[in-house]
Homo-oligomer: A and B are copies of this chain.
Amino acid sequence: MSLMDVALRRGFFYPSSEVYGGSAGFYDFGHLGVLLKRKFENTWRKYFLGLDQNFVEIETCTIMPKAVFEGSGHLKSFNDPLTECGTCHVRHKADLLLEEHDVEAEGLTAEEMSTLLKEKSVKCPRCGGELSEVRWFNMMFELDVGAAESGEKAYLRPETAQGSYMSFKRMHEVLRNQIPMGLAIIGRVYRNEISPRQGFYRLRELSQAELQIFFDPDTLDEHPCYDSVKDQIMRIYAVGDRDKEVREIPLEQVEAPRFYQYYMAKVQDFYVKVLKVPPHLFRFRELSEEERAFYNKIHWDMEIFTESLGGFKEAGGIHYRTDHDLSGHQKASGEKMEINVEGKKFVPHVLELSFGVDRNVLMLMDLAYTEEPERVVLKLPSVVAPYTVAVFPLVSKDGLVELSYDIYLNLKKDFDVFFDEKGSIGKRYRRQDEIGTPFCVTVDYQTLEDGTVTVRERDSMEQTRFQKEKVADTLRKAY
């Protein structure tokens, strides 16, 4: 028994197009996975759009013209180092191969990687063949819009962010020229990974939830609510901390500008307070200049520790992208990206909060997965549990089914509810434990007499009787 086994068997996620053998890096969500994913997205939306009245959500196309990625720099710089086996012709990521041989490859040139592969005598991990020189491979999916011969080249977006930059000018006008302004996008992005070997963690088609905050660079070291967060204790793993422990320090001691710090505090709260990630399994990891993406000036990743992924892994990042993108698009398109705030003209800078939805879902499931002697239980926080409650008639006779079904329909107005009348009550509890349902309501003969039902809590397995009319309120309070 394992998390992947539960995920497959119960319909959280499974390989895409598996009838035809699937395709590496592509997964589909079953009905429980969709519920969990959507609840994560709704929780994210409610929390981050709630941080400022001028933060809104937009939804933009996933196919974007070539010009966008010339302006953003992705065509030139969004590359992976590729090496090919001369014998079996399988392609590999050169940096991954080097890291498997304990060589830190971040920031190296193709030539340096080629040399190191030879020095370390690295061979094809599949067949042992000789590997080719390393060359850069662009990770965007290319396609033709219109008939191929005359069509325009376009790309599937590798991040949602460019949609927000394309929408910046119009939305700034629509939102009556306020600054800061936040544009959030939750949606699919695409990365043509050379050899996705980490299952559900590294995908070729994935969902991101990203918020681009456009602000005046002169206010980089301030935030109106800074005082409310400055003493918050942060879990920090800076560039200088490598091979040391995570440090717990007050926010104001973190080496980052205050506008940046403010959102670090809010992001940590999102994980620890809203998603109930145990604090000791969360940290902010600072990325060095070599590790950062080409567009970032300050970059800390949110990392979560899970056993199955083998340590702290990236769940998202906070990226100070400066005016890299807006100025790049201004230069490439000739469209002014400058705004005018009370006579002062400037191109706004951007702070990006970026989250990988699928890997957050995976990590939350991993943290929740618990094997106990007599059951497997997914201890998901209520805000993201696929079903909030299940309703069972004790037996399928004497009117208990009808009575249960009424309770089910009534709860359905406010919650995701599952109805189950099959198998022993113990078995039905186990089925719900395994998919993380926080509450089970059982209707029995006493219900016929006094209108009370049993509410059983997932983690403690404690059972309490309530009047059936009080169940919805009880769940709402526990929620």
Contacts and interface: CB of A to CB of B under 8 A. Distances in A.
Interface of A: 8-11, 14, 16-20, 23, 25-31, 33-35, 37, 53, 56-65, 67-68, 71, 82, 84, 89-91, 137, 141-147, 150, 152, 154, 156, 163, 166-167, 169-171, 174-176, 188, 190, 192, 194, 204-205, 329, 332-333, 335, 419, 422
A59 B27 CA distance: 9
Contacts of A60: 16, 28-29
B82 A58 contact: no
Nearest to A27: B61
Contacts of A141: 63, 143-145
A278 to B, nearest CB: 28
A154 B26 CA distance: 12
Given A34-B57, A91-B150, 10 more contacts: A11-B170, A28-B58, A28-B166, A30-B174, A31-B174, A91-B146, A141-B143, A142-B143, A143-B156, A145-B192
Given A91-B146, A141-B143, A169 B19 contact: yes
A30 B166 contact: no
A335 B20 CA distance: 8
Given A58-B29, A60-B29, A14 B192 contact: no
B30 A170 contact: yes
28 contacts: A9-B174, A11-B170, A14-B167, A16-B60, A16-B64, A16-B163, A19-B329, A20-B68, A20-B333, A28-B58, A29-B59, A30-B170, A30-B171, A31-B56, A31-B58, A31-B171, A31-B174, A33-B59, A34-B56, A34-B59, A53-B419, A61-B205, A62-B62, A62-B205, A145-B192, A145-B204, A176-B422, A188-B188
Contact of A204 (B25, B63, B137, B169): B63
Nearest to A422: B176
Contacts of A152: 23
A395 B348 CA distance: 32
A143 B60 CA distance: 21
A477 to B, nearest CB: 14
A34 B63 CA distance: 18
A147 B11 contact: no
A65 B29 contact: no
A152 B29 CA distance: 23
A137 B148 CA distance: 10
A147 B205 CA distance: 16
A58 B419 CA distance: 19
B28 A59 contact: yes
A26 B329 CA distance: 19
Contact of A65 (B17, B65, B82): B17
A192 B146 contact: yes
Given A11-B175, A89-B150, A28 B61 contact: yes
Contacts of A11: 58, 170-171, 174-175
Contacts of A91: 146-147, 150
A16 B166 contact: yes
A195 B166 CA distance: 23
Q: Which 7 A-B pairs have the closest CB atoms?
A: A31-B56, A11-B174, A28-B60, A29-B59, A16-B61, A20-B67, A26-B61
Residue with the greatest number of chain B CB neighbours at <10 A, chosen from A28, A61, A154, A171: A61
A204 B33 CA distance: 28
B61 A37 contact: no
A4 to B, nearest CB: 14
A136 to B, nearest CB: 11
